[in-house]
Amino acid sequence: MRHASAPHAPELDRLRLLEQEARLRGVRRMGELLVGAGVVAIGLADDAVNAAVAALVLILLASAFEGQAQRTRAPGGWLAIQELFGLTAICLVIGATGGLASPALVLLAPAAALAGARRQGGPLAVSLLVALAGLAGACLLADGPSLGDAAGTAVAAAAAILAVALVTSHLAHADRGVRADAILDPLTGLLNRGALDARMIELRGQAVLDDLPLSIVLSDLDALAQINAVHGADTGDAVLAGAAEAMRRSLRTFELLYRLGGDEFLLILPGASPREATHLAERLRDAVATAMPEGHEVTASFGVAGGSGRGLQFGALLAEADVALYAAKAAGGDTVRTSGGELAADGENVPQPA
């Protein structure tokens, strides 16, 4: 049985990262609050008021990068900047309150844990090198014991940073593997409903910030029930997977197709007008009609809906697309309808898949 390929790896990694960030948002903010309170308390206790205030400002600024990470196609870079701001804040207080004698050394543990939760391998190694370099710089500039005089403390602090990051990274990697199984449909390799949550958070942020259009395409196969009845469920599954693969191959890597369940699929197109989405739906309709999965003729029907701006409501958009899909099925299938009931228009070019 042929199964469709998984989504493009970088895009899938981005979705996993955003989904993880959404789940960790509450505890991460609580951690930022506690670290901020810690740096202020340590700075004030050591009469390093300026360092404490500067560190608190950096931590508050770091939280601002979360929104940018949700809206970009490369969230990892913005999250790395967020971590760097937080690390700089902690090192600033360490340097101002005694270096290796500073009680702020323990605050590096949460920074290491966050880095470990977000990345592994080479990117994690880079993050740890930056953290250790920041620690060394803070200690060298501090009015406290030198690295030579407090070698044991320096080694213990470095070991703690590495240990916390490595353990957290391993646990997060295992969790991401489980989460990947939870958001990928095993039959088609497409994303499933579980992957929509993080995507919706991202798209709401884009709609509010940029006032751009967003269109969706809802589809299902026209005669899969008959194929199942005549040829059996295994053949039906193979036909379903083949049709999904035909649609996926007609899309560019960042145009992600979701399997909602059964033979129903959803395509979300940020920045696309309903007219553009309709042309893309026509391309998908033709791809299915010509695919002949497992040697069977199969067609699909498509419903298109679109909206834009702050008033965008995904639930309402999905309901409109469902009505349009019902109209396409009522017209005999193998066709495209928009939420206004129109047929697909001709004459407008739609970008071809890369």
Residue 296 included in any domain: yes
Residue 217 included in any domain: yes
Are 203 and 80 in a shared domain? no
At residue 348 the predicted structure's pLDDT band, cuts being 50, 70 and 90, is very low
Task: Judge contact between 60 and 32, C-beta under 8 A.
Answer: no
Read off the CATH number of the domain in which 244 is found: 3.30.70.270
Residue 343 included in any domain: no
**Which of the listed residues 163, 183, 203 is the one where a domain comes to its end?**
183
For 17, the domain range is: 9-183
Q: What is the mean pLDDT of residues 157-182?
A: 76
* Three-class SS state of 337: strand
- Lookup: tokens for 126: 């880079």
The phi, psi pair for 146, rounded to 5°, reads -75, 165
Are 217 and 106 in a shared domain? no
Lateral strand order in the sheet of 213-221: 257-261, 264-270, 213-221, 300-308, 336-338
Residue 349 included in any domain: no
**Which of the listed residues 140, 160, 183 is the one where a domain comes to its end?**
183
Are 93 and 208 in a shared domain? no
The residue that leads in pLDDT, 37 or 186, is 37
Residue 352 included in any domain: no
At residue 15 the predicted structure's pLDDT band, cuts being 50, 70 and 90, is low
Query: Exposure string (b/e) for 118-135, b if CB count within 10 Å is 16 or more?
Result: bbbeeebeebbebbbebb
Are 177 and 201 in a shared domain? no
**Which of the listed residues 155, 183, 211 is the one where a domain comes to its end?**
183
Residue 119 has pLDDT above 80, yes or no: no
Torsion of CA 101, 107, 108, 114, to 10 degrees: 180
Are 105 and 209 in a shared domain? no
Residue 213 included in any domain: yes
Q: What is the mean pLDDT of residues 200-213?
A: 71
Are 266 and 138 in a shared domain? no
Torsion of CA 321, 6, 9, 313, to 10 degrees: 20
Are 200 and 149 in a shared domain? no
Are 48 and 27 in a shared domain? yes
Task: Give the max Cα distance, the chain.
Answer: 83
Query: Exposure string (b/e) for 184-207, b if CB count within 10 Å is 16 or more?
Result: bbebbbbbbeebbebbeebbbebb
Q: How many domains does the chain have?
A: 2
Residue 317 has pLDDT above 50, yes or no: yes
Are 79 and 131 in a shared domain? yes
Q: Model pTM greater than 0.85?
A: no
| DSSP category for residue 5 | P
- Please write the tens of the pLDDT for every residue from 288-300: 999 988 889 899 9
Are 146 and 242 in a shared domain? no
Residue 33 included in any domain: yes
Are 291 and 334 in a shared domain? yes
Are 201 and 319 in a shared domain? yes
> Exposed, middle or buried by CB within 10 Å (0-12, 13-18, 19+), for 283?
middle
Average pLDDT, the chain: 81
Residue 4 included in any domain: no
DSSP strands (E only) in the chain? 213-221, 257-261, 264-270, 300-308, 336-338
